[in-house]
Amino acid sequence: MLGDEFTSRLAAARRGDEVGFSALWRDLQPPLLRYLGVAAGAAAEDLASETWARVAKDLARFDGDEAGFRAWVFTIARHRLLDWRRREARARTAPRPNEQLSHLGAADDPAADALERVSTDGALALIAQLPAEQAEVVMLRAVAGLDVARVAKIVGKRPGAVRVLAHRGLRRLAELLAVDTPHDDPSPGVVTP
């Protein structure tokens, strides 16, 4: 978040000033990559570039505060994501997103597991194991920092549905982590990933 600087950076970017645009970009590119990475794996970088191309083109048309700008950028990103999914579905060769990140996940070594879990890549790999809708809501809420109302608009659901998805995603993370914990024996009744 840029906070007080946001307004002046946006104004500068709209005037064509690179310094302004760079500030906006540096603030949003990491969360954008992470969101797209969970959803689309290795395609994240290309999708992020497409997103920024559209942002740059339509910058003059944006009006709003910093949260609004974030929401707008992620909305554009989600459209690119949906286009990508349609292309991939037609091609029918792409692995499911959580498989694309599985190489970042835990190995069989418990110590490595623990370390992976606290790393950013490990955390993202874990989130990527959630059902796609839950993963998306968790990423938009926790990593993109968007509130329920904005997330609801982006994913096209009611706020209540967004809350339910977030709760389910958090619960599923807790279950995944409980299963992975070395001293817990996975019992037949526990949900496996």
Partner 1 sequence: MHRPFAARRDVLTLDEGTAARLLAGQLDPSDAPPGYGEVAGVLAAASAPPRPHELAAEEGALETFRAAASTRPVRRRRRAGPLVAVLTAAVLVLGGGAAATATGALPGPAQGVAHDALGAVGVSVPSAPQATRRTPVAHPPTIRTAPRHVAPHPASHRPTVRASTPAPTAPRPKPTRGGPNRTSLVVALCRAYDAGRLRSGAGRASRGYEVLAGLAGGEANIPGYCRSVLG
Positions in the binding site for partner 1 (CB under 8 A):
13, 16-22, 25-26, 29-31, 33-34, 45, 48-49, 52-53, 56-57, 59-60, 117-120, 122-124, 126-127, 138-139, 141-143, 145, 163, 166-167, 170-171, 173-175, 177-178, 181, 184-185, 187, 189-191
Query: Cβ distance 116 to 151 under 8 Å?
Result: no
CB of 89 to partner 1, least distance (A): 27
What's the CA gap between 26 and 152, in Å, rounded?
25
CB of 110 to partner 1, least distance (A): 14
CB of 96 to partner 1, least distance (A): 20
Q: Which is nearer to partner 1, 97 or 122 (CB)?
A: 122
Integer-rounded Cα Rg, in Å, for the chain is 18
Query: Cβ distance 168 to 157 under 8 Å?
Result: no
Q: Which is nearer to partner 1, 53 or 91 (CB)?
A: 53
The token pair that represents 54 in the structure block:
């559209």
Q: Which is nearer to partner 1, 94 or 142 (CB)?
A: 142
What's the CA gap between 114 and 182, in Å, rounded?
9
- Return all residues near 78 (Cβ < 8 A) that are at least 6 apart: 154, 155
